[in-house]
Amino acid sequence: MSNLDIQKIREDFPILKRQVNAKPLVYLDNGATTQKPQVVIDAILEYYTDMNSNVHRGVHYLSQISTDAFEVTRRKVQEFINAKHDYEVIITKGTTDSINLVATCYGREFVQAGDEIIVSAMEHHSNIVPWQMICEDRGATLKVIPMNEAGELDMDAYESLLNGKTKLVSVNYVSNALGTINPVREIIQKAHAIGVPVLIDAAQAVQHIKIDVQELDVDFLAFSGHKMYGPTGVGVLYGKEEWLNKMPPYQGGGDMIKDVTFEKTTYNELPFKFEAGTPNIEAGIALNAAIDYINDLGIDNIKAYEDELLAYATEQLSTVEGIRFIGTAKEKSSVISFVVDGTHPYDIGVLLDKLGIAVRTGHHCAQPVMDQFQIPGTVRASLAVYNTKEEIDALVAGVKRATAMLV
């Protein structure tokens, strides 16, 4: 049993009190974005009320306090993922931005014609398309680790894909479409055995699973603030100093330079080399509150509770006639994807919405996954720490009611 007081946690999220279609909101679309606790909302309000000013440039008081608050977040992220240095934490717009940064900058420096980049069959589009773009640009090839019917990666196939032409491996820690937890430690070790760096897309992991970048020995890690109880428009790229230093800047502009003349520009040091222009300051500052919130609950407590809820939801949904789970890996986290015989996921989603239940339907930005399972999409319920067994019961009753109407 979990040691978290879920009812008390729910009180922290004002939106959970609202009704949707005259029914209490049951929010099960946390994989898309989580709701925000009051402390995060307050941090945004406080920024605009008390300290609004640009960061890293003014000598005046407001600029100093907003810069300090922004940099506190960087150090909080450093602690949260146990990075060796705070300058290995690049503040980005989100996971997509972080992955594009690495694809562009690492790609420009290290990827040549004939080289190979490895991704997996269960990636979000944002961990496929940036690599396709750089491969096309450089004349390199994208290789894909296959997965089995349960949605587990074929690790033997992965090993046979690794070779002297491999320049980088980029895989997700947790699949947003299937919920699979991938064996990232083993993936990293195998790539490192032949000197290849690894990027882990932790967009669906960092809010559920303790991540220690030094222990994992991961080269790059990407995640988004808005999926971890924080604001939208901010995310993180962790990169090992040795790699970040070897990569050219991403975008040109203010903050990322040391000196600019029309003849020659020299670039700023880490992390600013990769942070051109005014960042999303309020979101950067409020991310600190989101990480504090997770730390106060304890990430291991969150995981234990969500695992319990996932097991309960899987068991209860199994009683729906004609249900087929998409993603039945042994190691799973917080995502239940399913289809029901004779129904379209979209229709179930619309009927659930009428009952105040928010789920995601469709391909979840992972079309290749849907293609492998030969389905147009799934219904996806994705869990957060404030969800309850009663909400799962409402989901199951809603799915039964919807299928009774549709079949």
Ligand X SMILES: Cc1ncc(COP(=O)(O)O)c(C=O)c1O
Q: How far is the CB of 327 from ligand X (least distance, A)?
A: 13
Where does this chain touch ligand X (CB under 6 A) — which range of 47-55, 91-99, 106-114, 247-255? 91-99
How far apart are CB 183 and ligand X at their closest, in Å? Answer: 16
Alpha helix segments (H runs only) across 140-256? 155-161, 184-193, 213-216, 241-246
Site for ligand X in 344-403 (CB under 6 A): none
Rg (alpha carbons) of the chain, rounded to whole number = 22
As beta bridge partners, residue 117 has 142, 168
Q: Quick one: which segment of 74-82, 90-98, 213-221, 329-337 binds ligand X (CB under 6 A)?
A: 90-98
**Smallest distance from ligand X to CB 50, Å:** 28
Beta-sheet pairing, 257-260 with 235-239: unpaired
What letter would DSSP give residue 332? B
φ/ψ bin of 4: left (φ > 0), alpha (ψ from -120 to 50), beta (otherwise): beta
Residue 163 CA neighbour count, 13 Å, CB half: 9
Q: Segment 189-218, which members bind ligand X (CB under 6 A)?
A: 201, 203-204
Which positions ≥6 away from 314 have C-beta within 8 Å?
Answer: 325, 336
Q: Which stretch binds ligand X (CB under 6 A): 121-129, 259-267, 272-280, 379-387?
A: 121-129
Which residues lie across from 116 on neighbouring strands? 141, 166
When binding is defined by CB under 6 A, the residue of 35, 104, 224, 288 that contacts ligand X is 224
Given the complex with ligand X, which of 333 and 343 has the nearer CB atom? 333
Q: How far is the CB of 351 from ligand X (least distance, A)?
A: 24
Q: Which is nearer to ligand X, 96 or 166 (CB)?
A: 96
Report in angstroms the alpha-carbon separations of 35 from 11, 19, 20, 290, 346.
Answer: 12, 15, 15, 11, 23
* Binding residue count for ligand X, defined by CB under 6 A: 13
| Contact set for ligand X, span 5-44 (CB under 6 A) | 31
Residues designated as active site: 365
Q: Which residues pair with 174 in a beta bridge?
A: 181
Tokens linked to 281:
């300051």
Minimum Å gap between C-beta 279 and ligand X is 15
Residues whose CB falls within 8 Å of the CB of residue 101, separated by 6 or more in sequence, listed in order = 90, 92, 237, 250, 274
Report, in Å, the least distance between residue 31 CB and ligand X: 6
Segment interacting with ligand X (CB under 6 A) among 94-102, 182-190, 252-260, 277-285: 94-102
Q: CB neighbours of 237 closer than 8 A, spacing ≥ 6?
A: 89, 90, 92, 97, 98, 101, 102, 220, 221, 222, 274
Q: In what order do the strands lie in the sheet with 360-362?
A: 323-325, 335-340, 378-382, 360-362
- β-sheet bridge partners, residue 200: 171, 221
Binding mask 142-181 for ligand X (x = CB under 6 A): ------------------------------x---x-----
Q: Does residue 76 belong to the site contacting ligand X (CB under 6 A)?
A: no
Question: Of 221 and 355, which has the nearer Cβ to ligand X?
Answer: 221
Nearer Cβ to ligand X (343/361):
361
Residue of the chain from 30, 34, 95, 280 that contacts ligand X (CB under 6 A): 95
* Closest distance to ligand X from the beta carbon of 46 (Å): 24
124 binds ligand X (CB under 6 A): yes
Stretch that binds ligand X, among 57-65, 120-128, 151-159, 208-216 (CB under 6 A): 120-128
Non-local (6+) Cβ contacts of 400 within 8 A are 320
Nearer to ligand X, 138 or 226 (CB): 226
The Cβ of residue 253 has, within 10 Å, a number of other Cβ atoms equal to 12
**Residue 24 or 362 with smaller CB distance to ligand X:** 362
Site residues (CB under 6 A) for ligand X?
A: 31, 94-96, 124, 126-127, 172, 176, 201, 203-204, 224
